[in-house]
A and B are shown apart, each in its own frame.
Chain A
Amino acid sequence: MSQSEPTITLENTEGRTTRPSVAPRIRQDQRAQRVFFVITLLPVFLIVVVTIALFVRAWPILQAFPLTDLLFGTIWKPSEKMFGFGPFILGTLWVTVVGVGVAVPPCLLAAIYLAEYAHASTRSFTKPILDLLAAIPPVVYGVWGLLAIVPFVEDMLAPLAKRWLGGVPFLAVNQPTGFSILSGGIVLAVMIAPLVISVVYEIFLTVPNDLRHASLAVGSTQWQTIRNVVLPQVMPGIVAAVVLGASRAFGETIAVLIVVGNVPQVPTSIFDSAYPLPALIANNYGDMMSIPLYDSALMGAALVLLVVILIFNILSTLVLQRMLRRKWA
């Protein structure tokens, strides 16, 4: 077959519009790139601006009292110029630890099941459920906590603990109501569950199947494979997921505020009431302008929240980013 000559025909070009010049399109592209670039700097910029703004507002209280007095002081009487964040910081820590403690074991198990055992149909059935759990507004979680969890703790868990666990530390029942750290923790656990489950699930998917196959081929059961082969690979990611969940719990405001009782005391048991930092800010924004230094103290509280959460978040996100991009030989 003879090769036909490549021919360039010059006919038919008259009817066409001339090709537009490339230059304006490239200029448009470059302009867009500059605009997009500036907009993209916004998130980075925003973190810095939020931190600085809160720091500036909190500066008067930071100057008036030494930092250790503020963080570890236990007396909160704004009208008498006593601003000890101690009980509030401890309250936040208690609620967060209980929330994470309640959430982590079932979330890990659920995520492992989804990643390692579940049928595709189970996965596609579970995803919308987790999405909906994540979509429910905090205040609705608060209503649920108030109507279901507080009575449950008051009528079921507290009497049980009183009867059987009297001498166990952190489990003493010192007050009659269910408005407690445990109620706040249970509500928080459900709130952070979708996040923890989906992050852990994603990390499990990064482990290549060859590793699993190798282990199964020598006769391990599936659980042995998970425990001895997969888990060691994903451990840092799981820790990061838990820290991420903890930071979410740390800053949660409305849902916790509704069920935790809001008593400014140093808690000694999960059945005690507590008064977390976010609740302190939310409850007192109304009269903070009427007492000197009060607004500065509340913004200081917000700053404490922000700094702790920034540290938690940056560390866990760095670990997760690294794990999700991991290249396997």
Chain B
Amino acid sequence: MGMKKNYWQRRHLMELFMKTLMRISLAGAAASLGLILWTVVARGLPALTWDMVTQVPKGGFYMGKEGGVLNAIIGSLYLALGGTLLAMLFSLPIALYLKTYLGSSKWGQYVRLSLDVLWGIPSIVYGAFGFTIMIAIGMRASLLAGIIVLALVELPIMVRAMDEVIRRMPADLEQAALALGSTRFEVSMQVVTRQMLPGIMTAILLAFGRGIGDAASVLFTAGYTDRIVTSLMRPTASLPLAVFFQLGSPFPEVQQRGYASALILTIIVLAVSFGSRWLSSRLNKYTIK
């Protein structure tokens, strides 16, 4: 009297239906990435010339004449590098403090909560905040101001990403070091930092990628200029704003170059993302499993 499974029962049909819906949803999410990349490549590539990445805007650039966005590429690299370095100075101590000193105590939870909240603050608010501070101290829009505000945007991303990996460190390692008489500071610097180096690098590159693509925070604080920035105190162009401004142009040639600039930005961000994946798998060879 073996019971045969009746696939026409309502609950089995429901199972099939929901499973199909779920597969479609997941495929949709994946497909949207493909669509985005395809759109940017298909529309950006035709306008992507060698001049775009080697020239600064010449006279009449914004009416469709010659030039490129080298000023914005360099500016963005400076902004994101500076912001990432500055954020790193603070992120690593916070992440180490969370791990070795606070652990999952109540205070650790409070710090993590405030980091999550900071992460959620939109970059336009950071931009507006930076702007109010700049007015208060009489500072003009500059590379330095942009770097500081980007560091604020990147800080919570970096700490939370570091915290996630550092937390996964085997407890044995830390306990072994402590048992041998290391201080917690020595554990932080000589055990945690080295063992978790791949994760820390990933966190830094993640924040770098976020920083280089952020437009709303540098809008107020870094300004824009057609020249390549030479000083921390001068305003600088940035790639996201270059895209944004060119899109708003009434000239089709300029809009096309906006798409090309978006392609350049996408390539940089994808390179950073793949680079971090490759780097972390390389570095992972040297950690204790």
Contact = CB atoms under 8 A, between A and B. Distances in A.
B213 A40 contact: no
Contacts of B82: none
Contacts of B18: 109, 223
B43 interface: yes
A72 interface: no
B28 interface: yes
Interface in A102-149: 105-107, 109-110, 112-114, 117-118, 126, 128-133, 135-144, 146-148
A99 B64 CA distance: 35
A50 interface: yes
Size band of the A side of the interface?
35 or more
A114 B216 contact: no
A278 B216 contact: yes
A35 B90 CA distance: 11
B132 A140 contact: no
B273 interface: yes
Contacts of A321: 109, 112-113
Given A42-B94, A110-B29, A137-B269, A285 B126 contact: no
Given A43-B159, A253-B215, A32 B185 contact: yes
B279 interface: no
Interface stretch (A76-84, A206-214, A297-305): A297-305
A133 B30 CA distance: 9
A35 B29 contact: no
A12 B21 CA distance: 74
A302 B125 contact: yes
A74 interface: no
Interface string B73-97: 0000000000000000010011011
How would you classify the secondary structure of chain B's contact residues: helix, strand, loop or mixed? Answer: helix
Interface stretch (B45-53, B192-200, B258-266, B281-289): B258-266
B128 A221 contact: no
B244 A139 contact: yes
Contacts of A141: 36
Given A39-B97, A47-B114, A222-B15, A143 B33 contact: no
Interface stretch (A21-29, A62-70, A156-164, A264-272): A21-29
A183 interface: no
A141 B216 CA distance: 14
Contacts of B243: 139-140, 142-143
Prevailing SS type, chain A contact patch: helix
A285 B120 contact: no
Interface string B199-224: 00000001001101111100110000
Given A133-B32, A285-B219, A142 B247 contact: yes
B231 to A, nearest CB: 23
Contacts of B132: 53-54, 56-57, 299
Nearest to B243: A139
Contact of A109 (B22, B96, B128): B22
B56 to A, nearest CB: 20
Contacts of A309: 120-122, 125
Interface in B145-184: 152, 155-156, 159, 181, 183-184
Contacts of A129: 29-30, 33
A33 B277 CA distance: 32
B25 to A, nearest CB: 4
B9 to A, nearest CB: 9
Given A39-B94, A318-B113, A140 B215 contact: no
A233 interface: no
A106 B185 contact: no
Contacts of B188: 32
A281 B101 contact: no
Contacts of A312: 120
Contact of A143 (B25, B120, B209, B259): B259
Interface in B1-36: 11-12, 14-15, 18-19, 21-23, 25-26, 28-30, 32-33, 35-36
Interface of B: 11-12, 14-15, 18-19, 21-23, 25-26, 28-30, 32-33, 35-36, 39-40, 43, 90, 93-94, 96-98, 101-102, 104, 109-118, 120-126, 128-129, 131-133, 135-136, 152, 155-156, 159, 181, 183-186, 188, 206, 209-210, 212-216, 219-220, 240, 243-244, 247, 258-259, 262, 265-266, 269-270, 272-273, 277
5 contacts: A36-B94, A143-B243, A148-B39, A250-B122, A251-B124
Given A106-B25, A109-B25, 6 more contacts: A29-B184, A43-B159, A113-B26, A221-B14, A253-B124, A299-B132
